[in-house]
Amino acid sequence: MPSYKNYFEKIELLKSGKLSLTENVEHFIEQIKNNSKLNAFNFVFEEEARQQAKVIQDKISSGSHGKLAGMVIAIKDVLNFKDHPTTCSSKILKNFISIYTATAVQRLIDQDAIIIGKTNCDEFAMGSSNENSAFGKVLNPVKNERVPGGSSGGSAAAVAARLCDAALGTDTGGSIRQPASFCGVFGLKPTYGRVSRFGLTAFASSFDSIGSFSNTVEDAALVLEVISGKDENDSTSSTNQVPPFSKDFQLNNRKLKIGIAKEYFGKGLSSEVKIAIENVIEQLAKHGFDIKKINLPHSEYTIATYYILTTAEASSNLARFDGARYGFRSSQNSSLIEMYKTSRSEGFGSEVKRRIMLGTYVLSAGYYDAYYRKAQKVRRLIKEDFDKAFSEVDVIITPVSPTTAFKIGEKSSDPLEMYLSDIYTTSANLAGIPGISIPCGKSAEGLPIGLQVLANQFDELNLLKFSHYIQEKIL
């Protein structure tokens, strides 16, 4: 079977007849089976994918196909897909079948993408290592004894292991960018509101963003172009026009101003990660880009602010999972209150319980002003830091994670240590800005290193053009 670098090459091969879509889909199904130990998928839709391949092959032959015809995509198991399971990798939704399809997923289907399966993730997208899943942990395809990152670890692993062309994930505080960094693929988190959240099982509603994993910037741009746009079902979705992200990657001789914040290069950052990112910055300077030092003074408060606000929103959002209306119900239900208690105790995993309790605490009487209200004020200060920075520069380069992928079980017993692995990614969600993880090198052990590029709100066009420049001219 002929290989292809990105979807644009794939569609040309499909049009010319050099590549058979049915054979291509069969290849992915076989690869998923051969790599089952990775545990990247919760569900694989084999027969459905085979049937769709035949239908879409005919559309391609007749020239009546959509923008993503034949792109094989996996979706994180927190996104609804009608008549298919949506479990959020939790026991509490073990047998739940979706009754409607998420807008982002429907937009992929409408453009003739093939949904091959639903990927494993941390339960309710809460975690940084993909070890908090009722379906078991996901392994990093680069080195199996390492974590793939979380919470979208299954999607990252599936793309890195070439089990699909691309995958959808969600990013609440780094859950696309960090696993992309750990697995050595591109991970794009759009601006909050760029992509409709309708059909996404909410973790923290003012933070959650749906984005993609891919092996090239071109594929990331194309998927974003398709899933973006206003949705009447989501009042927080933006009315901003969706640019043709995949049509033009040229910077047109414009050298963007690049901001480097000292707050992201201090204590705790691995020397290997720091060197890899500084090498890219040096190369960009040689290519004529203006490198400017900037300050993001409230960065030290991002983790505390993030975990106060997201746990508060999670405790509210997860109240609906009570054993009464749908999902898991405990057999210990002699009274209504006992049924609530035991269903939630047995149905939720330890990390989800921890976050619900933290969120309930910070929202409780006597602590609301001390924690929740204060965190909201700090969130505004963090957003203002970025507003000021983007008045001086076009993009900001930072690390994605302080380290490369850590060993399975290494941080499981220390929640604070685990939370600190998100120290460089949560700020983008607090500010609602877009970010991308770009694979930029490997450690001495052969583990991938990711570089993060951040841009101003709704400036994904420059973010993708700049990322493409790095992909083609620097790496």
Give the chain's domain count.
1
pLDDT in tens, 208-218: 999 999 999 99
- The pair of three-digit structure tokens given for residue 285, joined into one six-digit string: 């300077």
Which of 10, 67, 76, 189 does the annotation list as catalytic? 76
pLDDT in tens, 123-171: 999 999 999 999 999 999 999 999 999 999 999 999 999 999 999 999 9
Strands (E), 104-207: 114-119, 166-171, 186-189
Which of 90, 128, 155, 175 does the annotation list as catalytic? 175
Name the residue type at position 183.
C
pLDDT at 333: 81
**392: helix, coil or strand?**
coil
Q: Is 89 a catalytic residue?
A: no
Q: Identify the weakest region by mean pLDDT among 184-188, 241-245, 258-262, 414-418.
A: 414-418
Question: Helices (H) and strands (E) in the chain — how many of each?
Answer: 15, 11
Helix (H) or strand (E) holding 294: strand 290-294
pLDDT at residue 178 above 80?
Answer: yes
pLDDT at residue 253 above 80?
Answer: no
| Chain Cα centroid distance, residue 396 | 19
Q: Is 316 a catalytic residue?
A: no
**Residue (of 64, 70, 78, 86) closest to 28 by Cα position:** 70
The DSSP code for 319 is: G
pLDDT band at 58 (very low <50, low <70, confident <90, very high): very high
Per-chain mean pLDDT for the chain: 97
Residues ≥6 apart with Cβ < 8 Å to 96: 85, 86, 87, 326, 327
Question: What average pLDDT does range 435-448 have in this prediction?
Answer: 98
pLDDT at 334: 86
CATH code at 162?
3.90.1300.10
Q: Give the CA count within 13 Å in the CB-facing half-sphere of 116.
A: 31
**Residue (of 172, 91, 85) closest to 132 by Cα position:** 91
Question: What average pLDDT does range 197-224 have in this prediction?
Answer: 98
Return phi, psi of residue 153, to 5°: -65, -35
| Chain Cα centroid distance, residue 24 | 25
Which of 151, 152, 155, 299 does the annotation list as catalytic? 151
pLDDT at residue 332 above 90?
Answer: no
Contact assessment for residue 259 and residue 396, using Cβ atoms and an 8 Å cutoff: yes
**398: helix, coil or strand?**
strand
CA gap 122, 299 in Å, rounded: 26
What percent of the chain clears pLDDT 70, i.e. is strictly above it?
Answer: 100
pLDDT at 122: 98
pLDDT band at 254 (very low <50, low <70, confident <90, very high): confident
Using CA atoms, how far residue 465 sits from 57, 184, 249, 392, in Å, is 31, 20, 5, 19
pLDDT band at 338 (very low <50, low <70, confident <90, very high): very high
pLDDT at 312: 98
Look at the alpha carbons of 271, 272, 277, 280 in this order and tell me if their dihedral is positive or negative. positive
- The pair of three-digit structure tokens given for residue 150, joined into one six-digit string: 């979380």
Q: Domain of 402?
A: 1-475
**Residue (of 254, 224, 259, 218) closest to 240 by Cα position:** 224
The residues that bridge with 260 in the sheet, in sequence order, are 293, 397
CA gap 316, 275 in Å, rounded: 42
CA gap 322, 23 in Å, rounded: 44
Q: Is 76 a catalytic residue?
A: yes
pLDDT band at 416 (very low <50, low <70, confident <90, very high): confident
**127: helix, coil or strand?**
coil
**45: helix, coil or strand?**
coil
Question: What average pLDDT does range 392-414 have in this prediction?
Answer: 96
pLDDT at residue 255 above 90?
Answer: no
Name the residue type at position 176.
I
Question: What average pLDDT does range 437-442 have in this prediction?
Answer: 98
Question: What average pLDDT does range 58-63 have in this prediction?
Answer: 97
The residues that bridge with 212 in the sheet, in sequence order, are 168, 188
pLDDT at residue 175 above 90?
Answer: yes
pLDDT at 67: 98
Contact assessment for residue 188 and residue 104, using Cβ atoms and an 8 Å cutoff: no
Question: What average pLDDT does range 57-78 have in this prediction?
Answer: 98
State pTM to two decimals: 0.97
CA gap 150, 169 in Å, rounded: 10
- The pair of three-digit structure tokens given for residue 261, joined into one six-digit string: 């914040």
pLDDT at residue 389 above 90?
Answer: yes
